[in-house]
Chain A
């Protein structure tokens, strides 16, 4: 009996070793380790043995053979499964550099990118965003901004006039806004202070296009009107913006200048960490005449305003050499950013 068991074990192990697929192992498992398998059959024959010792010895031999076969089946099965998985994975190999250009996200205009970045910084500083029409009345664009009719500074704005005539009004009193400052006026007329707004928007000048000038371009302008607002608040706000937008290593300064709608007026410059300066924009304390035009008492309310070009921010950030390219809508340009 023992001889028979040993022979069966050797044969089974040889079969298992020879199995080449998981399917074969499944069949061998049934044949050798199943409930009706060969070794269960041998076990059943133990009862026919004569002596207890013989039964014991043969029983041990069968158990030993069964566990050896089970172990061999498990080992072989996992080896074959691994091999089959490896073969399948190998068979699925792809060359990921065989790359078809896939649909991509669209590209926001550079001006929009700069515009939204600026809005986000000012929102973070406590400003809301105000907007207004791009075609304006002479009154909003000039007169309310301390530039009455005939004011010599008007000439510096290179204004584009349109043929719209308001009812009962004069021709030549409707303009393409030359700055976003009329939004200041509209805001002051529409709401009570305190006012903390920025007004980004499109503006127009009668300027021949070149690498640094466009007749249609964009500005962002800030206005604060509150009680006890001082020029120190202007300097501090410009500096807070500078650090938030450009980075902590940047500084700012105010330097005297002239604008009809602010007094005192200042240009503001940004200092790069390397010490060099960039002229950024204009600013100043809102002129008492502007406050009066908006029915605000300059002895009760004070405030500051500042403004600068959005296009230039985009130009500088991305090193665009020619502003005209920014407005050509050429795919080769658009998809760079």
Chain B
């Protein structure tokens, strides 16, 4: 909401716009009310060299369809020629002319410039170009009768002002109107509040417009007042200036007053030409599915059965309730009598139509937040008072319609406010008698005596319905900065859960192994899972931003392969990445079978590198898992991959990514991979490592090599070695694998180093010979031959 300080000052002496300190005080007070100030702009500074000029004539040019040639008189006795692209000008209009040499606010300097070889001797300006607002849809017309050559600022009565742009949150519906802001601000700043007290007699012969509300839950009140004696003409400059500064384009006195009343009193309204209103009345009903209406913005729109339409008495749609009028019933230059609509629409209903149709307006923004359902009578009089400034013969006819449905919110809504509840939430020590001083100035009326008071809620505060809403108002007007600062006296101590600590350990181990952490997009393109060799079943986003990011990952594999491919395409090979993140397989339960996963990819490395990572992880976490090469997970290399089994449940997979998957992702390197269900890993209960006494006896090493068929996993041989070596064995490790000369085809030599130790004595040659015999026997049973 743009707040013009000079306008706000109509309702209280808040501060001189030319006094920077005063402006800052206003901005700070707005912030302390929850109106976050986004910007404070000085406006009304005029541009030197821009003067009033009359349009003598307009000419087209056969080769320049979008611009016209304009001949203007700036009062200095010579006719100037300018090119102009606006279409809102006609002969006789007085327009602002930026003469040659003028420095425009946007930095442009006006120079003699040619189009099609014909020079332009200046520029006609829009409001935006003059820094008067955001309107750039046409030339800012000056009042008829303006002295030619007069600086435009004088002609418009411009003075320096300040425009404060403040963010209006959903709990401040009244702050879409100046009066609503001014009331709260006056209370906060200790300034006298001067609300408008419009004075205009409703006389004339009673003229009514029948109103039928069909869907009373969506429109609870609809008033229609007949106003005659209207003469459509431009607004006075003061009003046009204010509307311009508010970002609205002045159109005509009737439309401008309508907008002005909306901005001032937060009461959207709509004036219909009574002579063109079919049947001379209104019918408010839901649209039938597919019903059409061309709205004021010129768009033909189709509506659905949940959209509320304003129809004339002949049931012909003339507006979208609370959002926008129809094009046909627009006020014209010939309008003399209007039916002025002021109504109340359901917040939720408006919101749904706005969301569905994407049609929004200043009015819908206000209705969606909640407009005062009892503010119409005052707003009608204000409308008449303002319009009478340009229409001296104006008559407001008695007998206006005021249709109300049973859903109309009552004018008096009361909540009980317990002062101890206030203090309990805010930490204050307020007495019940402090409440009226805080609440009455902002329109909440505190009644009764005692510790619990009945507070009458303002009709314009539809956000306020419960005690806590009143507590918030008390907090704001008491001042958040006065609430103090303390720390809860917690008896708890902080900490990470065991699972969280283990997750950190996993990350530390991986980082220590030189693997960096990636965070690819969890949203995949359709088909990406299949491309990665994974089942295609997945959950999809029903309203994705783009289809390429609509499938929820069931595995971290695709994202990491894409990261590898991306880096490879930037000549960054050999990358080691891991990701810890959620994956979301579908399920039949209340929620998907979401779990936390870990995947490690080692580009340019072979499967054993991934196995090494897995071993390092399990060693650190304190448990092991079986590497079962008989089961190859889908999408992984058939002869270089294994399932990780811990107990019966598969914990994950290790190995290499299948060549065809790598090709599909445009990865040319081999990629070793480890995929783990991290939930299983983190939630597994492990015991702390237990002490084993370090021996004071010397140990002996025994190296043994075996030739064994390739089909038998080395794991089995190691197991046999352990069994055969007996109690003296403290450690065994594979240190060499050899295939080639000296080893039979289809076999390999596996060399192990056994560390032997007796707790109580030095080992003898006989001990070692025993171990050797035992191991040899166990290996032979497996089919492995000890090589001498």
Which one, B99-107, B421-429, B634-642, B757-765, is touching chain A? B421-429
Chain A residues in 8 Å Cβ range of B582: 133-134, 202
- Asked whether B475 lies within 8 Å of A126 as measured between CB atoms, the reply is no
Contacts of A305 in B (CB 8 A): none
Among A106, A153, A194, A299, residue most surrounded by chain B Cβ atoms (within 10 Å)? A106
Bound CA–CA A135/B425 (angstroms): 33
Instruction: With CB as the reference atom, state the residue of chain A lying closest to B508.
Output: A108
| Complex Cα spacing A228 to B540, Å | 44
Query: Does B496 reach chain A (CB closer than 8 Å)?
Result: yes
Closest chain-A Cβ to B469's Cβ sits at a distance in Å of 7
Q: Hey, which chain A residues are within 8 Å of B427, CB to CB?
A: 230-233
B537 to chain A, nearest CB (A): 12
Within 8 A of B (CB), among A158-185: 160-164, 166-167, 169, 172, 174, 176
Q: Which of A241-266 contact B (CB under 8 A)?
A: 253-258, 260, 263-266
State whether A128 and B589 are in contact (beta carbons under 8 Å apart), knowing that A162-B540, A331-B575 are contacts in the complex. no
Nearest-Cβ distance from residue B17 to partner chain A, whole angstroms? 24
B348–A150 CB distance below 8 A:
yes
The answer, yes or no, to whether B60 is at the interface (CB within 8 Å) is: no
A42 within 8 A of B: no
Report the bound CA distance from A189 to B484 in whole Å: 31
Interface-located stretch among B26-34, B208-216, B710-718: B26-34
| B residues 155-214 in Cβ contact with A at 8 Å | 169-172
Whether A106 contacts B517 in the complex (CB less than 8 A), given A123-B496, A166-B590, A206-B545, comes out as yes
User: Which residues from 308 to 327 on chain A have a C-beta closer than 8 Å to any C-beta of chain B?
Assistant: 326-327
B-chain residues with CB within 8 Å of residue A332 when the two chains form the complex = 570, 572
Interface positions of B from 508 to 524, Cβ below 8 Å from A? 510-523
Which listed residue, B485, B492, B520, touches A236 by the CB 8 Å rule?
A: B485
Which B residues are CB-close (under 8 A) to A105?
511-512, 514
Is the pair A254, B542 in contact by a Cβ cutoff of 8 Å? no
> Chain A: how many interface residues by the 8 Å CB criterion?
87
Flag whether B476 is at the interface (Cβ < 8 A). Answer: yes
Min C-beta distance of B77 to chain A, whole Å: 55
By beta carbon, the residue of chain A nearest B479 is: A256
Whether A196 contacts B540 in the complex (CB less than 8 A), given A174-B591, A254-B480, comes out as no
Asked if A137 CB lies within 8 Å of chain B CBs, one says: yes
Contact present for B485 and A239 (CB under 8 Å): yes
Contact A137 B591 (CB under 8 A): yes
Among B355, B369, B472, B488, point to the contact of A237 (Cβ < 8 A): B488
User: Is A255 in contact with B496, judged by CB distance below 8 angstroms?
Assistant: no
**CB-CB < 8 A to B690: which residues of A?**
none
B490 x A302 contact (CB < 8 A) = no
A293 CA / B20 CA spacing, docked (Å):
48
A256 touches B469 (CB 8 A): no
Known: A162-B542, A258-B171. A232 touches B483 (CB 8 A): yes
Scan B200-234; emit 1 where CB is below 8 A from any A CB, else 0: 00000000000000000000000000000000000
- Of all chain B residues, the one with the shortest Cβ separation from A150 is B348
Asked if A226 contacts B490 (CB within 8 A), the reply is yes
Residue of B at shortest CB range from A151? B348
A264 to B348, CA, bound (A): 23
Please tell me which one of the listed residues B480, B500, B539, B591 contacts residue A256 in the complex, with CB atoms under 8 A apart: B480
Chain A residues near B485 (CB, 8 Å)?
A: 232, 235-236, 239
Give chain A nearest CB distance to B190 CB in angstroms: 18
- The residues of B that contact A161 with a CB separation of less than 8 Å are 541-543
Give the chain A neighbours of B137 by CB distance below 8 A: none
Contacts of B545 in A (CB 8 A): 206-208, 215
Given contacts A152-B348, A161-B541, A172-B542, contact A135 B584 (CB under 8 A): yes
Q: Is the CB of A327 within 8 A of B520?
A: yes
For the complex formed, measure the closest distance between the CB of B550 and the CB atoms of chain A, giving whole angstroms: 10
Decide if A231 touches B483 in the complex (CB within 8 Å): yes
> Chain B: which residue is nearest A122 at the CB level?
B494
Q: Does A285 contact B (CB under 8 A)?
A: yes
Q: Which residues of B contact A266 (CB under 8 A)?
A: 480
Q: Which residue of B lies closest to A102 (CB)?
A: B514
Q: Does A112 have its Cβ within 8 Å of any Cβ on chain B? A: yes
From A196, A206, A288, A335, B543 is in contact (CB under 8 Å) with A206
B368 contacts A233, C-beta separation under 8 Å: no
Would you call B486 and A233 a contact (CB within 8 A)?
yes
Taking the closest CB of chain A, its distance from the CB of B480, in whole angstroms, is: 5
Complex CA distance for A257 and B500, rounded to whole angstroms: 34
Q: Is A22 an interface residue (CB 8 A)?
A: no
The CA of A119 and the CA of B518, in the complex, are separated in Å by 20
CB atoms of A264 and B475 under 8 A apart: yes
The reply to whether A216 and B522 form a contact with Cβ atoms under 8 Å apart is yes
A102 to chain B, nearest CB (A): 10
A8 at the A/B interface (Cβ < 8 Å)?
no
A111 and chain B: residue at smallest CB distance: B519
CB of B361 closer than 8 Å to a CB of A: no
11 interchain pairs, CB-CB under 8 A: A104-B514, A106-B516, A153-B170, A162-B541, A163-B540, A233-B486, A236-B484, A256-B32, A256-B475, A256-B480, A331-B516
Query: Which residues of A are in contact with B by a Cβ distance under 8 Å?
Result: 103-109, 111-112, 116, 119, 122-129, 131, 133-137, 150, 152-153, 155, 160-164, 166-167, 169, 172, 174, 176, 194, 196, 202, 206-208, 215-216, 224, 226, 228-233, 235-237, 239-240, 253-258, 260, 263-267, 285, 287-288, 299, 302, 326-332, 334-335
20 additional contacts (CB under 8 A) given A107-B517, A128-B497, A172-B542: A103-B514, A106-B578, A108-B517, A125-B494, A131-B500, A137-B590, A152-B347, A155-B351, A160-B544, A161-B541, A162-B539, A196-B492, A196-B494, A206-B545, A233-B427, A254-B480, A263-B471, A264-B476, A265-B171, A332-B570
